[in-house]
Each structure stands twice: as C-alpha cells, then as structure tokens.
Amino acid sequence: MTPNLPQGPIGVFDSGYGGLTILHQMRSLLPQYDYLYLGDNARAPYGPRSFDVVYQFTREAVVKLFSLGCHLVILACNTASAKALRTIQQNDLPQIDPQRRVLGVIRPTAECIGRITRTRHVGVLATEGTIKSESYVMEINKLWPDVKVTGVACPLWVPLIENNEYDTPGADYFVKKRMDALMLRDPEIDSVILGCTHYPLLLDKILKYTPRGVKIVPQGEYVAESLRDYLARHPEMDALCAKHGTCRYLTTESAAKFGESARIFMHEPVEVETITLGL
C-alpha cells in the first residue's frame, strides 16, 4: 500500500451516456464508493472514429480524471476499451504513474460468457468500431478457445438512444434487422453480448426479437462484479478509493442537456459540470 496519497473517487469514462448503465450497476453493487463520471459528449460517438483518434480522446479523458484525484479509471465504453485500453495500460501508465490503473469492460464480459453459453456459439452486437477491432473475439478466445464468436455492427442503435427514440415503434425495425442478421450468420448462437453500454436501453425491444432460448447478456452487472472482485484482490487500490457514497458528473457538452439525458439512465436527477478536453 502506498502511504500518504489522498483518496480519490473511482473514475468512470464513456464517450457519451452509455457508460451510465455501467455506473448505475456499480453504484447499486458498491454504493459506499465515490464515483466521478466523465462523458465526452461533445465528441461522441466514438464508434465510427479511427483507432488513433479514439486513443487520443480516451487518453485525454484518463489524464483529466487522474488530475481530479482518481487512482482507478474504468473505461465504461466498449469502443474505448477496444481501441485504446491496451495502449494506455502498456505505454502510457508506466510514464504517467505506474501506481494508477485503467480497466475496461470487454474482459469482464469475456470472462463470464464461457460460463453462460452451452452451445459454445456466442453473438456480439456492438458499434462498428468495436466489431472491426475484433476485441471480443480475441478476449473470449484467449479464455475460451472452443467458443465461436460472431459479431454484427449496429451503427444506428446509439443515435436512436441518444436522440430519445429508443422506445418508439421506429426503433423496432432497426433492432429486428440486426438481431435477424446475427442469427442468420450463426443459428447456433445461444448467448448474445450487448457490446455497447447504450444497448440496455433497447433491452425490451431486443428481447422482443430474440429467438426463444437465446440469452441476452448486458454488461453492467458483470463489470460491477468484476470491479468488486478487483478491489478485493487489490487492497492497496481499495485503500486509495474514497468511500463517502458520492457521485459527480462531468461532460464536454451542455450540462443541462447531459443532465436531462442522464436522468433516463440513472433514474434520479444529477448535477453536472461542463469541462473541456484536448486543446
């Protein structure tokens, strides 16, 4: 354990609002901790952006959260986890501060999926960037080499959610189209990972078009459980995490706009501060 370092909140980063679904589960399971959420809404979505740009934006956010006292940052964004996490862990942390940690959402999901699937055929619905990165394929096959992973990109799902159209009849068309495409590619799939933190808001519609016997796997509960296990295994990091049950919200967009949308995810009013990243 490192003495004399001030405690800080657990940082939670996402390109937009989706990471709030992860934060909600973390606060439900681990309410005693302090959290600091940062949404880079002004530059969202990250899904279609290049690896270099996602890395640059994610690094800026991580550095900002470190500067605000976070010792541990969770990338509650699949695109950032897919395109930036490894580089930040391997190249940046040793230079910035070897004692700080950045974790993602893909590995906790990969760890649990092998215990869920029976047919050993798994589907992934995610953004274009996450599917193209093949991060889920690589992480799952590292842990479960016998599992076949099939991914389908859902480029319009995030805009539907962020424009508050996720609960309209028009959303059904786009949800059914992608679910049908996934099952057509591999009819033996029995478990489907929602590989974007926004997608739980579409869960009712997703379940509506999911074939009988196929399990949908949202990430929040597994990421929250993984965080609890991580802190139990790393008491030195746990000691650096403040525990007053507080939660602050930062956005690079309008605070009022973020607060309005965040209420949908968090089921409570939130106080938000606008900050800048980058130049």
> Model confidence over 154-182: pLDDT tens digits?
999 988 988 889 999 999 999 999 999 99
Q: Which of 70, 112, 154, 196 is catalytic?
A: 196
83 in Cβ contact with 51 (< 8 Å): yes
195 in Cβ contact with 204 (< 8 Å): no
> Which residue type is seen at 11?
G
Q: Which residues of the chain are under the pLDDT cut of 70?
A: 1-3, 279
Q: Which of 77, 112, 154, 247 is catalytic?
A: 77
Look up 70 and say whether it is catalytic.
no
The Cβ of residue 253 has, within 10 Å, a number of other Cβ atoms equal to 17
pTM above 0.95, yes or no: no
Cα 135 to Cα 84, 197, 217, distances in angstroms: 11, 15, 17
State the Cα–Cα distance between residues 191 and 125, nearest whole angstrom.
11
Look up 196 and say whether it is catalytic.
yes
Provide the pLDDT for residue 1. Answer: 44
State the Cα–Cα distance between residues 43 and 231, nearest whole angstrom.
31
Burial class (CB in 10 A: 0-12, 13-18, 19+), 31: exposed
Burial class (CB in 10 A: 0-12, 13-18, 19+), 170: exposed
State the Cα–Cα distance between residues 208 and 198, nearest whole angstrom.
17
Work out whether strand 191-194 and strand 215-217 pair parallel, antiparallel, or are unpaired: parallel
Burial class (CB in 10 A: 0-12, 13-18, 19+), 142: exposed
State the Cα–Cα distance between residues 10 and 12, nearest whole angstrom.
7
Q: Which residues contact 181 (CB under 8 A, 6 or more apart)?
A: 152
Closest CA to 39 of 9, 61, 21, 60: 61
Provide the pLDDT for residue 279. Answer: 56
Q: What is the pLDDT of residues 213-249, one digit of tens each?
A: 999 999 999 999 999 999 999 999 999 999 999 999 9
Please, where are the H alpha helices in 30-168? 51-67, 78-83, 85-87, 93-96, 106-116, 128-133, 135-143, 157-162
Provide the pLDDT for residue 83. Answer: 93
